[in-house]
Structure 1
Amino acid sequence: MGRDKATLPVAGPSGTTTMVERIVDVVATRCAPVFVVAAPGQALPELPDATILRDQVAGVGPLLATGRGLRAAADAGVEYAFVCAVDMPRLTADVIDILAGPAHRLGVDVVLPWDGRDHFLAGVYRTALSATVSALIDAGHRSMRALVDRVDTQRIVLAEQAALTNVNTADEFAALEPPALRQQM
């Protein structure tokens, strides 16, 4: 994309913010504490509703960052954490609600939405999995699939929906945003 997705401007209910601010606003309505895992040196706006954790190594993939966030949530006394990517500008708290219920009711390790594909970075994870993540990383794994394939994972079938859409290219982002914001990119 050529630009840090976390700081891209995105329209939300309270006006234009950055993607990371939008995600923190949504997640904070259902989760506490909220942790944002950032790359080393990554510039982020003030996030009063979140604690920023810094990755120590850049470019290793989401598994390491997920483990770091799960460890912080476990240290805060939380049993389950909603893990999501910052590039989901249409994420809603409803997604968290849909996944959190089965996690607590079934006692599984991971609950993922499935709409024809797994959404690894929009799921509820047991925070005790941070030890499993560390072992996987030590064994050379970097993908979220490596984790969910080794633990008790429940998939919740959902219709395709905008809330699970992530943006990976400037064209995908532009398709979601009003014309005025496209010019700011």
Structure 2
Amino acid sequence: MTTTLPLAAVVLAGGASRRMGRDKATLVFDGPDGPTTMVERVVSIVTARCAPVFVIAAPGQALPDLPAQIVRDEVRGVGPLLATGRGLREAAEAGLEHAFVCAVDMPELTTDLIETLTGPAERLGADVVLPWDGRDHYLAGIYRTALFTTVAELVAAGERSMRALVDSVDTQRIVMPEQRALTNVNTAADLELEAPPRLG
């Protein structure tokens, strides 16, 4: 069911990508419309449902031109919690109360998944709504943008994990089956598995 809840998007693109061994944001993905970078693919998906879209990038990280606002992390390699807080703050300052937060390595993400989470976010009034398929998907959830203040407090206390945030606020988990939309690309082999068959 489609909702009318206004929703920003925060795409975390500045991770160290240690398992991949290179920047995942500019990794080329063989998508349904031909080759594209991972960040272009994910931004194109979230833009269909969310506005504005914020891409959180590392200092000095090269990115293609995107229909999104690029926000630079102040420091590199400190984990997703700080970057999430930065994105939520930008979304809050833009006047949005909710944001869909996702990782850049989810080329099979769908607007249907976003809508599945948006309904409960609108009805339940929770701080965070996450998909759960046997594990929490912290970087595929809807967050209240006001949580940027909670993130700042947690980071000041030395926390770096998304679990620290989720465990400290009202979080609702939406049970769903394992699906491609929630798949993260962590290695070159994962990327090959994700690539759809080419026709012709």
Normalising TM by the smaller chain, what interval?
over 0.9
Offset at 1:168? 1.1
Give the partner amino acid of 1:23.
Answer: V
User: What is the number of residues matched between the two proteins?
Assistant: 179
Which portions of structure 1, spanning 4 or more consecutive aligned residues, are displaced by more than 4 angstroms? none
Match of 1:41 in 2: 60
1:12 equivalenced with 2:31 (yes/no) = yes
Match of 1:146 in 2: 164
Residue in structure 1 matching 2:68, options 23, 40, 50: 50
Give the partner amino acid of 1:82.
Answer: F
Offset at 1:89? 1.2
Match of 1:26 in 2: 45
- 8 Å Cα contact 2:32-2:196 kept in structure 1: no
Q: How many Å separate the matches in 2 of 1:152 and 1:120?
A: 14
Match of 2:107 in 1: 89
Offset at 1:179? 8.6
- 8 Å Cα contact 2:128-2:170 kept in structure 1: yes
Match of 1:60 in 2: 78
Give the partner amino acid of 1:2.
Answer: G
Residues 12-54 of structure 1, C-alpha deviations (whole Å, 9 max, x = no match): 333221000011000001100000000111100000x200000
Match of 2:123 in 1: 105
In structure 2, relative to structure 1, the CA distance for the partners of 1:178 and 1:158 (3 Å cut) is: closer
Offset at 1:11? 2.5
TM-score w.r.t. structure 1 length?
A: 0.94
1:167 equivalenced with 2:190 (yes/no) = no
Q: How many Å separate the matches in 1 of 2:73 and 2:81?
A: 11
- Consecutive unaligned residues in structure 2, runs of 5 or more: 1-19
- Consecutive unaligned residues in structure 1, runs of 5 or more: 181-185
Residue in structure 1 matching 2:141, options 118, 123, 126: 123
Q: Secondary structure at the residue paired with 1:5?
A: coil
Residues 73-104 of structure 1, C-alpha deviations (whole Å, 9 max, x = no match): 00000000000000011111111100011111
